[in-house]
Amino acid sequence: MRIHYYFIITLITCILFLFGCKETKQNNQENERIAKSFIKYWNERDVDKIISLFSDNCLYEEVATGRKYSDKDGISNYAISTLSGIPDSKFEIINIVSNDNLSVVEWIWKGTNSVGWPSMGIPATNKYFEVRGVSVMIIENNLIKRNSDYWDWNTFLREIGVQPSDES
């Protein structure tokens, strides 16, 4: 009787483990799909779809500039501003790694600084650039709870032909 008990406990544990692994794999695949959609919508210049990927209680952080947006309106304004400054913006996915609650996307941002951002003191230079970066997404309930973009601001400024004000 005791062997039968251990067999059943072992069988239940194995079944739960297998279902848990399946669920984990599904979560990983869903989080990878969300990360791919994030890049796709930036490339499509579809701000509404970008915003649809975020939870209501979210944070978007552009680490290079220190800018943070803690609601969908802020993220929307940020996306519109970014895309209007570089109208031909494109992101190329290099790699995506996902797990249960995280996706990391390595990308290359490409474009031409044909408009610039006058509000930031960045004029149009008509120079093409390519900047490597990473987006780290915390995902809960199939929505991005937090996104942090890491890329090199100084490389970007050099590539578009604008020197940082603190360089001599």
pLDDT on residue 71: 95
pTM of the shown model: 0.81
Which tens digit of pLDDT belongs to each residue from 64-110?
Answer: 999 999 999 999 999 999 999 999 999 999 999 998 899 999 999 99
pLDDT on residue 9: 54
CB 93 within 8 A of CB 102: no
- The Cα 40–Cα 7 span in angstroms is 49
DSSP letter (8 states) at residue 71: S
- State the DSSP H helix or E strand holding residue 68, giving kind and residue range, or none if neither: strand 67-69
Which residues of the chain are modeled with pLDDT < 70?
Answer: 1-26, 164-168
Domains of the chain from N-terminus onward: 2-159 (3.10.450.50)
Q: Which tokens hold the place of 168?
A: 């001599």
Q: Which tokens hold the place of 57?
A: 């209680």
- Other beta carbons within 10 angstroms of residue 61's beta carbon come to 17
pLDDT on residue 35: 97
